[in-house]
Structure 1
Amino acid sequence: MAVSASLQQRLLRFVLGLLISMALTVALAVWLSTTNHSHNQIDSNLSIAESVLKQLLRNREQQLMSSTEVLTSDFGFKQAVATQDKSTLESVLHNHGERIGADLMVLLSLQGKIIASDTEQVEAHFNQDFFIRSSLSNGGATDYLTVNGRLYQVILLPVKAPLPIAIAMVGFELNRELAEQWKDLTGLDITFYFNKSSSDKVIASTLPPDLWLKALSEAYTPYSTHSLPLFGRPQFASLQLDLNQSNSGEAGLYLTYSVEKAFHEFDVLQLRIIVITFIGALLASFGGIVIARNMAYPLRSLAKTASRMAKGEFGLKVDVQRTTSEVSELAAAFETMQVGLAEREARIVFQAHHDPLTSLINRQHIITRLKEHLDSIDYKPLSVICINILDFRIVNDTFGHFVGDQCLKQIGERLSGLPEQNCLAARLGGDEFLVAIPLACSVERTAENVLATLSSAYMIQQLEITLKFSMGIACAPRDSTDADQLVQQASIALDMARREQLGIAFYNSNMEQTHLKRLQLLADLKKTLAQNDGQLQMYFQPKVLASTQEHFRFEALIRWIHPEQGFIPPDLFIPLAEQAGLIANITDWVVEAVITQIAEWKSNQFTAQVAINLSAKDLSRKHLLENIKQLLDDYSLPSDSLAFEITESEIMRDAKEAIDLLIRFRSFGFDLAIDDFGTGYSSLSHLKHMPVTELKIDKSFVLQLDQLADDQIIVKSTIELAHSFNLKVVAEGVENQASMDLLREWGCDWLQGFYLSRPLPAKDVLPWVENFAKPDQAANN
């Protein structure tokens, strides 16, 4: 029910939300349109009424002006004015006022003082200067005045005999009767007012008295930039007109329009929208409930089917009420999905258990299979063989990775096709494989058969490739009955085979002790590199200039003095560091230690070039060269303070890349030497392209130079060859005076060996140099 209720709620919310949103959108559109229309209607009606009213005022002014001219042109009226008889004047004003229908008759002097009027007392405040000046200069004037609390439209005309002798002011009252007449003409309510004490006072209006204040102060102002609000809008829209000609603002009128009248149809429309929305909401709710129920039951059934599929049950029949085409399509999709999921799960399981290149099972799965075999009650003894391809990198570098991958595939095929029954083959990663074979014969015979199967040539792209292998073997139950331990033991034996350059190595307990010692040694090496606790030290073996024996250079040699195991040879821990990826850390430590020592010698007025050995991995490091240059700059040392020696075999692993890297080193001004020359695979074609400055003849050719003729031929020709390439020659392994004399005779440039000096700690270098330079150096040597 939870799924059904949730679906109903979602559908109802969606339908109702959509309906309400549409209703609000329509209402907003209608409101905006109607409000704009109402604005325009109000403004238009007021504008038209304003024009009509102004025309009425002009017409009334002309009529009143004509009636007043009749009065001022009358001879009897002029004669009465000339006599200045007040009672006569009042009688004349009264009679003529009734004749022209005037409501106010006043005679003014040319100075603006009241001479006579048809009322007992006239209380009026007007701009006398403006009236008098305007009537005299223009022949008449009109304005609006409040007299005795009433509002009049007044006409002022000069009385001439023939020059102006007085001014007649004739007034016509603006009252409710006039407002009603104008309302009939304009269709709007008219309100007359005059200003008193900064507030408007209504004189007459067509509105009821209780609406006067709203019409004057709370009305909506037409032509404004503010829109009418949807709620709480004002009752009226009023337009104010100022009637005074003298700009005194004392009298005026309001044209008032009913806002409710303009918005009546809009309000009815809004009510209809609300009613329609409410009815639609009821219908939508009912329809949503029905639709949700019709969809919920099939979906619930499909959800149960999906739950069973999630548990790994496939091939289920999807039994649902297919009330709609969409539900039918969904049920069909579920049935199709079951097939796809079953295939995909099988593919994922296969990929999780197998190597993608060779299709052999992987490390984790073969361990699982071994556990299953060893856990069975009547399992047969078996051998676990770890296999490594020797120098497989050369195949990739020489022939390309495609050929290398094809070699790996063929190895996998050969291991899968071994004749032994129940044989398991796996690829552990990279160039390492593992095979578990039940022992039908001796373990030695089994290992030899596997090695023979793998060692025959591989034909790839018309290439015949021969590979060499090392194998490490552990047996169950002889060595262990635990799968993980068996694989570990075979790996330990393989490591021994690689280090000792053996084809096959069988596990024994001593190997594990050696392996543990190597692991401990590696951990100690990491620790001493991190802490720099003084266990690692630099020794320096001198190189002496053969011609004079007065100039010296040195080769930097790292030494590890372990606090428990004592001296550990570099031949032991350097390969270990390379395997563990620590060779870069060691090189960085050596570089910094050597540069620091050179700077210290310089402070003691001693300068000598020191050579540092680099590996191929060091050459491939992007920032090594920049770091070396920065250290030299920090200690203010020139580039020729350092030289670098790279073994011939390291260079030949990837000659092109190595040469490119050596060119970068030479561009910084460093001297470069090929170490152990004659033991690698270099050729003259490579040598002429190498940016090196020295050849270092391997000590194996120099140790017995005075006794072996073949070594003499090799060394002499090597010196001549190097000089033909403008290279200096260093001979290492000088052990006696006879060998040194031969080397000097053949033009060897630098000599190095125990006969001259063993590697020295830094503190003994300067004393050795001073002692060697003495005349009795031969004795000291």
Structure 2
Amino acid sequence: MAATSLNKSIFRLVVGTVLFTTVGVLISMWVTTSGHAQKQLNRNLTIAQGVLQQVLASREQQLYNSADVLTSDFGFKQAVATQDEGTIRSVLLNHGNRINADLMALISLDGLLTSSTSAALPIGSPFPYADFVQETINEGGSTTLMLFDDKLYQVIMLTVDAPRPIALTLVGFELEKELLTQLKNITQLDLSLQVRHNDSLIFSASTLALGTQLNVIEDEKRSFSWWDTAILKKHAYISKQFQLAELQDQSVWVVLSENAEHIFSEFNQLQITITLVALLSILITLLFGAMFARNLATPLKKLAEVAHRISHGNYQQTLHTNSEDLSEVQDLSSAFSLMQDNIRARESKIIFQANHDLLTRINNRYHIEKVIDDKLQLGESFQAIGINIFGFRGINDIFGYHSGDICLKVLASRVSALGGLAARLTGGELLWIPDVVQSNEQLLKLKLALEHPIEETGVIINLKVAIGIIDCPADAQTAQILFKRMNIVLDEAQITRQLLLSFDPEIEQRYLRRLSIIIELKQALAGNQQELSLAYQPKLNISANKIMSVEALIRWNSVKLGFVSPEDFIRIAEQAGFIENVTNWVINRAMDDGQLLLDAGIDVCIAINLSAHDVMNPELLPMVVSQLAERNLPRSLLSFEITESDVVKDPDKAIKHLTAFKDYGFTLAIDDFGTGYSSMAYLKNLPVDTLKVDKSFVLKLNTQVGDQNIVQTVLKLAKSFGMDVVAEGVENQETLAMLQRWDCEYAQGYHICKPIPVAALIEWYRSHINQNWLENT
């Protein structure tokens, strides 16, 4: 056996040792780096899942705030309570356009779609997710993902409370590919959304191409190895899925996908470099291997620690790299720093948006609610001041929504400058919690300062604000009670024009009664006809000594509310926007009773009172004419009475509409004359036949000289315009005799007859047909 030279042995030993060491190092590095890559991938996917869920949660909260604005709007509640389909649809469309919602709908408590802005939810059909409707009713609000017409929507559903749930409102935003792209930019991963029905895929949307998406979905079900991924290229993407929502028999899944080539590309290049260097120089390879191991392992470990801290929400640490670190490590470190800064900035923005109103930049309702509840739980006493722009809807209608937004921003800025806490609750309503309790004198000065005119592009907008005051915890023990009672106080302030008003339990009782009157009156008009009735008070033609007309007066005896005065429910019906329903009921009932009177041989004219809304309603006259023709009744059966104030609101338009009534042959009268704001300039142009002197001037006519002068003046005025006069409130024979001497045409009052039902009127008329009313004169 030939001896081996020392050089060869050394060479073999060195080469063998280096080769063995190099192979061992490479194998060790392959195993270590592959494991590290898998851990890093899992961390990336886990972090991306957390970021994605946080972004979706923030989006969900913003959607909740948008939906809450709608359901908290009093006008919308009234529209739902009154089933005003036109107003409901208008509010849904306007609010949906403002918040860029793709779905807006109103759902009844039994799950029927009563109004919708999308063909995906046809009106009148049952809502397809019945369990979600019941969950919303039980919880007051719910959110989930739903599939309609092969489109996936993020849906917010809240109850409309008045104060109990009366309906549900739905707001939906489509999860389109553009949103997935935005989420991809946030998570730096590709995303796929899947909807599965009994393990069958029925919907899919992804930032990946279709073929790639199918591979990802298949690969997600298998584990991966470095050899399969980096060398054999079997897996283009590595994925992780989690369930996002589940509703009935459908489930929504999110698949996060990381590009495997991106993870292992640097590793492959590194292995080639190390192998070449090892073959070129034994010594340099050993030294470089040692240096590489040190330069690679240390910063990677630091970066792993940083990633771990970031995954726990710590974004404050500073990343440093040494000059001798590999450029890839430095790039990765820079990428980590940038990622950390971006996540921190996005989280700060998300937190700000979650707690602040995006338009006014002050606290939003959600955040101020938590602050108020914290204060109340700590037993703090404070003053809550609600500030509402009076006629805010009018500002939007006249100047546009852009100007309305500017008014809100300026008002919010003025309130914020006062110190304390400021928040926006609903459309034009702000809440201010001052650091120091404010007196009424201070609030009056504050009101004047807040109402300083706003100039916008050459247009001056004059603000009028209503201020409501609630002392906590005396008047409200929770934030929800505070918001509810603040809404009640501000509503009362606008109705009564007391634009600086403190909370009082009586105000809340009046508010609840108004709601009860609205609900019960609508039900009475819809079906329960026994509660509503008409009473008739005869009018005596003094010169003819004969009853020739009667006034129809509506009466309401509610089963739940008892007797409700017409002065109360007529005014509330006008404010709630369904006075025309009341007027239509009165006209139809008067026609029915008129037919009974004609059948009984009684030929009298029935006078019907019209509200300001009725006078301006162009559809009223055609309806009256049509009903009379359908029933084959003469037009002389009906006449109409209006009050002075209703005419004064818009005299030109009122004269136009009343002239149309006159042209059709109806007799018109001005009711309660002398109590309004009559103007000779338009009185002479009114197509009216009669003036009715208010009973306040007639009740004591036989004893009050001042009233006598007023009545005689009205009589002279009426004669100069060629009008008849009806004196209301005739209570005694002396008054009737005076009216006869002054040539007053008609008398009406308890001395003649009190208001009675139609059956009693027939009997009364027959028993008094030959009575000489003036026999004692």
What TM-score results when the alignment is normalised by the length of structure 2? Answer: 0.51
Select between 414-423 and 475-484 the one with higher mean Cα deviation.
Answer: 414-423
Question: Secondary structure in 2 aligned to 1:436?
Answer: strand
Question: Secondary structure in 2 aligned to 1:543?
Answer: strand
2:668 maps to which residue? 672
1:381 maps to which residue? 381
- The residue type equivalent to 1:662 in the other structure is L
Q: Is the 8 A contact 1:380 1:439 kept in 2?
A: no
Shift of 1:347: 15
1:530 maps to which of 505, 526, 531 = 526
Q: Is the 8 A contact 2:536 2:757 kept in 1?
A: yes
Shift of 1:601: 0.8
Does 2:593 align with 1:594?
no
2:419 maps to which residue? 421
Question: Secondary structure in 1 aligned to 2:431?
Answer: strand
1:458-504 C-alpha deviation (Å, 9 max, x unpaired): 89999999887654322222222322210211222334445555444
Shift of 1:643: 1.0
Question: Secondary structure in 2 aligned to 1:756?
Answer: coil
Does 2:577 align with 1:581?
yes
Q: Is the 8 A contact 1:555 1:610 kept in 2?
A: yes
Distance 2:543 2:564 in 1: 36
The verdict on how the C-alpha distance between 1:762 and 1:360 changes in structure 2, with shifts beyond 3 A counting, is farther
Q: Is the 8 A contact 2:573 2:579 kept in 1?
A: yes
Shift of 1:582: 3.0
Does 2:471 align with 1:472?
no
2:557 maps to which of 555, 561, 566 = 561
Shift of 1:633: 1.4
Question: Secondary structure in 1 aligned to 2:554?
Answer: strand
Does 2:608 align with 1:612?
yes
Shift of 1:640: 1.7
Shift of 1:657: 2.4
1:353 maps to which of 354, 357, 374 = 357
Shift of 1:738: 3.5
Q: Is the 8 A contact 1:475 1:486 kept in 2?
A: no
Look at both structures and tell me which one has the larger radius of gyration over its CA atoms. Answer: 1
Question: Secondary structure in 1 aligned to 2:476?
Answer: coil
Distance 2:708 2:463 in 1: 36
Distance 2:392 2:715 in 1: 34
- The residue type equivalent to 1:561 in the other structure is N
- The residue type equivalent to 2:374 in the other structure is D
Distance 2:464 2:395 in 1: 14
Distance 1:733 1:542 in 2: 12
1:540 maps to which residue? 536
Question: Secondary structure in 1 aligned to 2:369?
Answer: helix
Q: Is the 8 A contact 1:673 1:695 kept in 2?
A: yes
2:229 maps to which residue? none
Q: Is the 8 A contact 1:7 1:296 kept in 2?
A: no
2:398 maps to which residue? 401
Shift of 1:349: 5.6
Q: Is the 8 A contact 1:383 1:474 kept in 2?
A: yes
1:286-344 C-alpha deviation (Å, 9 max, x unpaired): xxxxxx999999x9659999xxxxxx9x9xxxxxxxxxxxxxxxxxxxx9xx99x989x
- The residue type equivalent to 1:534 in the other structure is Q
- The residue type equivalent to 2:592 in the other structure is T
1:136 maps to which residue? none
- The residue type equivalent to 1:701 in the other structure is F
Does 2:620 align with 1:624?
yes
1:635 maps to which residue? 631
1:187-231 C-alpha deviation (Å, 9 max, x unpaired): xxxxxxxxxxxxxxxxxxxxxxxxxxxxxxxxxxxxxxxxxxxxx
Shift of 1:718: 2.6
Distance 1:625 1:302 in 2: 76
Q: Is the 8 A contact 2:702 2:735 kept in 1?
A: yes
2:4 maps to which residue? none
- The residue type equivalent to 1:696 in the other structure is K
* 1:685-724 → structure 2 map (5 Å cutoff): 685-724=681-720
* 1:56-455 → structure 2 map (5 Å cutoff): 353=357, 359=360, 365-366=364-365, 368-375=367-374, 381-387=381-387, 401-402=398-399, 413=410, 416-418=413-415, 420-424=418-422, 426=424, 428-429=426-427, 433-438=429-434, 440-442=436-438, 444=440, 447-454=443-450
Q: Is the 8 A contact 1:366 1:424 kept in 2?
A: no
- The residue type equivalent to 2:422 in the other structure is L
State, as a whole percentage, how many aligned pairs show the same letter.
32
Select between 658-667 and 703-712 the one with higher mean Cα deviation.
Answer: 703-712
Distance 1:702 1:447 in 2: 44
- The residue type equivalent to 1:736 in the other structure is N
1:36 maps to which residue? none
What TM-score results when the alignment is normalised by the length of structure 1? Answer: 0.50
- The residue type equivalent to 2:357 in the other structure is H
2:731 maps to which residue? 735
Shift of 1:535: 1.0
The verdict on how the C-alpha distance between 1:484 and 1:9 changes in structure 2, with shifts beyond 3 A counting, is closer
Distance 2:464 2:761 in 1: 46
Distance 2:434 2:597 in 1: 66
The verdict on how the C-alpha distance between 1:512 and 1:606 changes in structure 2, with shifts beyond 3 A counting, is same
- The residue type equivalent to 1:382 in the other structure is F
Q: Is the 8 A contact 1:361 1:427 kept in 2?
A: no
Distance 2:714 2:385 in 1: 45
Shift of 1:667: 3.0
Question: Secondary structure in 1 aligned to 2:546?
Answer: coil
1:39-75 C-alpha deviation (Å, 9 max, x unpaired): xxxxxxxxxxxxxxxxxxxxxxxxxxxxxxxxxxxxx
Cα RMSD between the aligned structures? Answer: 5.1
1:726 maps to which residue? 722
Distance 2:431 2:631 in 1: 56
The verdict on how the C-alpha distance between 1:500 and 1:7 changes in structure 2, with shifts beyond 3 A counting, is closer
Q: Is the 8 A contact 1:414 1:453 kept in 2?
A: no
- The residue type equivalent to 1:754 in the other structure is Y
Distance 2:696 2:459 in 1: 36
- The residue type equivalent to 2:658 in the other structure is L
Distance 2:697 2:463 in 1: 30
The verdict on how the C-alpha distance between 1:396 and 1:435 changes in structure 2, with shifts beyond 3 A counting, is closer
2:756 maps to which residue? 760
Q: Is the 8 A contact 2:540 2:546 kept in 1?
A: yes
* 1:736-751 → structure 2 map (5 Å cutoff): 736-751=732-747
Question: Secondary structure in 2 aligned to 1:612?
Answer: strand
Distance 2:699 2:551 in 1: 18
Shift of 1:697: 2.2
Query: Size of the alignment, in residue pairs?
Result: 472
Shift of 1:442: 4.9
Q: Is the 8 A contact 1:695 1:727 kept in 2?
A: yes
Q: Is the 8 A contact 1:459 1:465 kept in 2?
A: yes
1:689-737 C-alpha deviation (Å, 9 max, x unpaired): 3222222222223233344444333333333223322222222222333
2:134 maps to which residue? none
Distance 1:351 1:624 in 2: 49
- The residue type equivalent to 1:441 in the other structure is V
Distance 1:570 1:304 in 2: 78
Distance 1:627 1:556 in 2: 18
Shift of 1:538: 0.4
Distance 1:748 1:460 in 2: 57
Question: Secondary structure in 2 aligned to 1:681?
Answer: coil
Question: Secondary structure in 2 aligned to 1:417?
Answer: helix
Select between 454-463 and 497-506 the one with higher mean Cα deviation.
Answer: 454-463
The verdict on how the C-alpha distance between 1:726 and 1:300 changes in structure 2, with shifts beyond 3 A counting, is farther
Q: Is the 8 A contact 1:8 1:293 kept in 2?
A: no
Give ranges in structure 2 of 5+ residues lacking alignment: 1-189, 193-205, 214-233, 240-256, 264-312, 316-338
Q: Is the 8 A contact 2:236 2:261 kept in 1?
A: no
1:482 maps to which of 453, 473, 478 = 478
1:100-135 C-alpha deviation (Å, 9 max, x unpaired): xxxxxxxxxxxxxxxxxxxxxxxxxxxxxxxxxxxx
The verdict on how the C-alpha distance between 1:386 and 1:628 changes in structure 2, with shifts beyond 3 A counting, is farther
Distance 2:211 2:398 in 1: 60
Distance 1:5 1:578 in 2: 54
Shift of 1:599: 0.6
Distance 2:751 2:663 in 1: 35
Question: Secondary structure in 2 aligned to 1:628?
Answer: helix
The verdict on how the C-alpha distance between 1:404 and 1:588 changes in structure 2, with shifts beyond 3 A counting, is same
The verdict on how the C-alpha distance between 1:589 and 1:663 changes in structure 2, with shifts beyond 3 A counting, is same
